[in-house]
């Protein structure tokens, strides 16, 4: 409470001096229709609005059985990989999220990606969005930055600024991939047909090499006409024609060898349907060029509040319950089921290229609470079950993570939002084998508040994920889920193990902001994190009843439980645990108003001594959370502290 009040004071100062002008980052919008929200005038990402959780459903059945079997299970998804839930970073904020330049990379970002690499082997990140569409590559910018916006040139309802960027943005991405196995998607400017349009394809290939896995051609082209980027007759055939023009241009460019990495049609499913595109013959015509097919979709549009679009203004309290059940994810995906089927028939993978709780930064009290973490898990697993091949969570508001507003970055650390936990937990649920198949178990008689999934490898169930969306501090709504493998129910021998391991994602309420725990570890609250999980890991062992062929798993309301049926944890199967300490430290002169112990605990202990200093010249200098890798930097393991390996970066 104390800390929150202090922080609010700082936010007021920032707002009145109009410091926050970054497109696409501090966009968790303040709703004028929310009583609590309307009082608040700080950056929207830190709006303290807390909403009332939905009541316990009535009736609510808390005991049910999940009967599984080895082999012979129908309806499994296509094989998916653990990098399933990646991230989409609006190009205009790449220099805030990834780093300032190729010699100044954000350590929290590296740590957040390393956590996922550890579980999945790699991470998929897209740099693009509306701001890629007019981005121009220059050798250098007048003030030496790698990225610059021109807000005067903003031209559409979401005030997308034209961008200029330098090859150092791509070098920064490449350097990140030398620390953590991040594979990148980029976008080719589609709105303009200027001669240097292909520069990002040329330089992207030259600099990123194999780390470049896709080039988006057009971002939400079905909105081009509505946003006045094209005339009113612009339709699916026009897009397909322009895609063809792009392929021709690339074919005539010896340096654009990556014309097989294109991604289309990337529609928002707003003014066209996916079938409108498929029916043009697009996929057959450009099959050789299409690395992936993709769509973009958000469950709700919250742009009206922030950008005055004239659209519907939704009250967060009204929409909150709609995120807290199994229909939330399904209702986004239903319209694409024909397309995941169609993609399979064409031998293509379909991606959800941009998504999150709501467009334009999400809702205060909905997007920044524990309920959104559960929503993201169910939605992510539902997409996997529905034969998507991946989804990218768009960085906006507090999600999936936020670097502090620019001129607070010298004394604040990062905020890790709920859907980052979704990404982490889904990575661990799916694991790194690339062969995982997912089944929605239609659990508890199809009760939308208690979805459960089984995860298969080689046709056998290996893990079970159970969500309890219900908010009930009394404990009366804790689920008691009986898992049986084999047995008379399916005419197989009993195959229930002697014991299973369980990891929980927990918070006291679906409305809780920050401090969620995954197997006991957390990324804290606002400005608490350098991207390393804090706390001692807590994995629960459940003894099963092999005589009666059942393991009974308790699932609190609210929570997510991940059950490891064969006891094999996936948390380090993707890669060894790797973390990056914050070698360049916080400017303590400015931290007087922030509790030093808060920063200290957020730092995993390793750098405590440095952060504890509160006087100038106390040995702590430089900007927060950045690492300056020299050419040929190597990471070498120096110490094991609290079971976590710390990697020190040094030049050679
Ligand atoms: C943030 O930056 C603005 C302008 O860049 C400056 O006027 C303001 O004082 C800064 N705020 C803080 C809290 O440092
Ligand atoms: C990279 O960014 C840092 C921090 O803004 C700056 O000090 C440094 O000069 C920049 N390096 C280059 C090569 O531009
Ligand atoms: C910014 O955009 C406006 C409108 O398109 C243009 O007139 C101006 O020259 C641009 N400024 C810069 C610095 O590119
Ligand atoms: C719309 O644009 C297309 C393609 O540029 C052009 O052929 C057509 O004449 C335009 N229609 C109108 C009404 O301006
Ligand atoms: C599924 O997509 C195909 C290809 O666009 C289309 O022909 C078919 O009509 C669609 N089916 C449904 C039920 O929408
Ligand atoms: C996913 O694809 C598999 C394999 O084609 C199919 O059996 C299954 O029904 C599909 N699932 C959904 C939800 O469409
Ligand atoms: C999974 O696929 C990726 C990308 O193709 C590959 O690099 C990785 O080695 C694969 N992992 C396994 C366990 O096969
Ligand atoms: C998170 O936990 C810390 C330490 O217990 C506490 O000081 C802070 O207020 C909590 N933050 C939130 C948002 O609950
Ligand atoms: C570990 O997690 C279990 C399940 O949530 C809980 O009951 C137990 O108290 C936790 N133990 C510790 C040491 O936190």
Supply the pLDDT for residue 37.
29
SS3 18: coil
Supply the pLDDT for residue 303.
79
Mutate which of 19, 26, 43 for ligand 1? The one with the most ligand atoms within 8 Å of its CB, which is 19
Rounded Cα distance between 249 and 210, Å, is 22
* Closest-CA residue to 376 (of 570, 114, 85): 85
Rounded Cα distance between 31 and 564, Å, is 41
Judge contact between 127 and 182, C-beta under 8 A: no
Supply the pLDDT for residue 278.
98
Supply the pLDDT for residue 308.
66
Dihedral sign (CA 70, 76, 80, 84):
negative
Residue of the CA atom closest to atom 3 of ligand 7 = 434
Mutate which of 504, 515, 538, 554 for ligand 9? The one with the most ligand atoms within 8 Å of its CB, which is 538
Rounded Cα distance between 627 and 109, Å, is 11
Query: Which fold does the domain 19-34+42-47+77-434+589-632 belong to in CATH?
Result: TIM Barrel (3.20.20)
Q: Which atom of ligand 4 is nearest to the CA of 233?
A: 1
Predicted TM-score of the model (pTM): 0.85
Rounded Cα distance between 122 and 106, Å, is 18
Query: Which fold does the domain 63-74+439-564 belong to in CATH?
Result: Immunoglobulin-like (2.60.40)
Supply the pLDDT for residue 345.
98
Rounded Cα distance between 45 and 25, Å, is 8
Supply the pLDDT for residue 587.
35
Between the alpha carbon of residue 183 and those of residues 19, 86, 288, 586, the distances in Å are: 33, 10, 21, 30
Ligand 1 pocket member 593 (CB < 6 A): no
Rounded Cα distance between 318 and 550, Å, is 40
Ligand that lies nearest to the alpha carbon of residue 237, given by its number in the listed order:
4
pLDDT mean for each 10 residues of the chain (652 residues): 24 23 29 32 70 97 98 97 97 91 91 96 96 90 86 57 90 96 96 78 97 97 94 97 94 93 98 98 98 96 72 88 97 98 98 93 91 98 98 85 69 87 98 97 98 98 98 98 95 96 98 97 91 95 97 98 93 87 41 25 26 25 35 28 26 22
Ligand 8 pocket member 178 (CB < 6 A): no
Judge contact between 372 and 355, C-beta under 8 A: no
* Closest-CA residue to 200 (of 153, 160, 231, 246): 246
Give 615: exposed, middle or buried? Use CB within 10 Å, 0-12, 13-18, 19+: exposed
Q: How far is the CA of 295 from the centre of ligand 5 (A)?
A: 16
Q: How far is the CA of 154 from the centre of ligand 3 (A)?
A: 9
pLDDT tens for 164-215 read 899 999 999 999 999 999 999 999 999 876 666 899 999 999 999 999 999 9
H or E element in which residue 202 lies: helix 199-208
Measure the N-to-C terminal CA separation of the chain; round to a whole number of Å.
46
Q: Report the pocket of ligand 2 as residue ranges, CB < 6 Å.
A: 100-101, 103-104, 144
Task: Examine domains 19-34+42-47+77-434+589-632 and 63-74+439-564 and report if their fold is the same.
Answer: no
H or E element in which residue 639 lies: strand 634-641
Ligand that lies nearest to the alpha carbon of residue 229, given by its number in the listed order:
4
Q: Give yes or no for a cis peptide into 35 (omega within 30° of 0).
A: no
**Which DSSP category does 271 fall into?**
S
Q: How far is the CA of 162 from the centre of ligand 3 (A)?
A: 8
Please state the length of the chain: 652
Give 589: exposed, middle or buried? Use CB within 10 Å, 0-12, 13-18, 19+: middle
Any idea where the domains of the chain sit in the sequence? Answer: 19-34+42-47+77-434+589-632, 63-74+439-564
Q: How far is the CA of 419 from the centre of ligand 8 (A)?
A: 18
């Amino acid at each position: 409470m104390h800390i929150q009040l202090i922080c609010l004071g700082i936010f007021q100062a920032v707002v009145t001096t109009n410091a926050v002008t970054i497109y696409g980052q501090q966009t968790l919008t303040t709703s004028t229709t929310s009583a609590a929200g309307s009082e608040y005038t700080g950056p929207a990402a830190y709006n303290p609005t807390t909403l009332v959780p939905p009541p316990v459903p009535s009736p609510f059945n808390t005991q049910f059985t999940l009967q599984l079997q080895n082999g012979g299970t129908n309806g499994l998804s296509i094989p998916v990989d653990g990098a399933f839930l990646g991230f989409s970073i609006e190009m205009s904020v790449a220099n805030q999220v990834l780093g300032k330049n190729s010699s100044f990379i954000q350590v929290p970002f590296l740590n957040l990606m390393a956590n996922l690499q550890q579980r999945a082997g790699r991470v998929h990140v897209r740099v693009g969005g509306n701001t890629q569409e007019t981005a121009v590559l220059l050798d250098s910018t007048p003030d030496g930055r790698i990225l610059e916006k021109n807000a005067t040139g903003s031209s559409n309802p979401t005030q997308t600024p034209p961008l200029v960027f330098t090859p150092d943005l791509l070098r920064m991405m490449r350097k990140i991939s030398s620390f953590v196995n991040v594979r990148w998607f980029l976008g080719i400017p589609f709105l303009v047909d200027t001669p240097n349009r292909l520069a990002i394809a040329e330089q992207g290939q030259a600099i990123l090499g194999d780390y470049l896995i896709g080039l988006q051609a057009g971002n939400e082209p079905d909105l081009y006409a509505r946003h006045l980027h094209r005339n009113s007759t612009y339709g699916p055939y026009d897009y397909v024609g322009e895609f063809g023009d792009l392929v021709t241009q690339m074919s005539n460019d010896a340096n654009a060898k990556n014309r097989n990495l294109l991604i289309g049609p990337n529609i928002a499913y707003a003014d066209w349907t996916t079938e409108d595109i498929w029916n043009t013959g697009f996929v057959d015509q450009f099959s050789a060029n299409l690395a992936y097919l993709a769509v973009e979709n958000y469950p709700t549009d919250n742009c009206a509040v922030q950008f005055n679009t004239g659209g519907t203004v939704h009250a967060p309290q009204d929409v909150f319950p709609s995120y807290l059940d199994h229909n939330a994810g399904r209702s986004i995906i239903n319209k694409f089921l024909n397309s995941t089927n169609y993609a399979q028939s064409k031998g293509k993978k379909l991606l959800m290229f941009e998504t999150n709780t709501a467009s334009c930064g999400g809702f205060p009290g909905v997007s920044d609470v524990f309920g959104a973490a559960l929503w993201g898990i169910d939605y992510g697993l539902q997409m996997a079950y529905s034969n998507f091949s991946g989804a990218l969570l768009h960085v906006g508001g507090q999600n999936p993570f936020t670097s502090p507003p620019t001129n607070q970055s010298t004394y604040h650390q990062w905020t890790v939002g709920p859907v980052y936990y979704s990404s982490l937990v889904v990575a661990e649920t799916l694991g790194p084998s690339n062969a995982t198949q997912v089944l929605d178990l239609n659990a508890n008689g199809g009760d939308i508040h208690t979805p459960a999934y089984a995860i298969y490898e080689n046709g056998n169930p290996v893990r079970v994920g159970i969500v309890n969306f219900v908010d009930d501090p009394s404990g009366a709504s804790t689920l008691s889920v009986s898992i049986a493998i084999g047995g008379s129910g399916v005419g197989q021998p009993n195959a229930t193990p002697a014991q299973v391991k369980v990891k929980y994602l927990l918070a006291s309420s679906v409305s809780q902001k920050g401090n969620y725990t995954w197997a006991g570890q957390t990324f804290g609250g606002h400005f608490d994190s350098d991207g390393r999980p804090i706390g001692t890991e807590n994995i629960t062992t459940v003894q099963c009843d092999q005589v009666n062929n059942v393991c009974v798993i308790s699932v609190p309301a609210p929570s997510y439980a991940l059950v490891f049926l064969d006891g094999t944890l996936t948390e380090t199967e993707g890669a060894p645990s790797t973390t990056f300490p914050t070698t360049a430290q916080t400017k303590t002169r400015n931290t007087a108003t922030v509790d030093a112990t808060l920063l200290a605990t957020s730092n995993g202990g390793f750098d405590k001594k440095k952060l504890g200093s509160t006087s100038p010249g106390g040995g702590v200098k430089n900007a927060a959370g950045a690492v300056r890798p020299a050419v040929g930097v190597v990471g070498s393991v120096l110490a094991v502290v609290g079971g976590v390996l710390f990697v020190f970066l040094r030049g050679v």
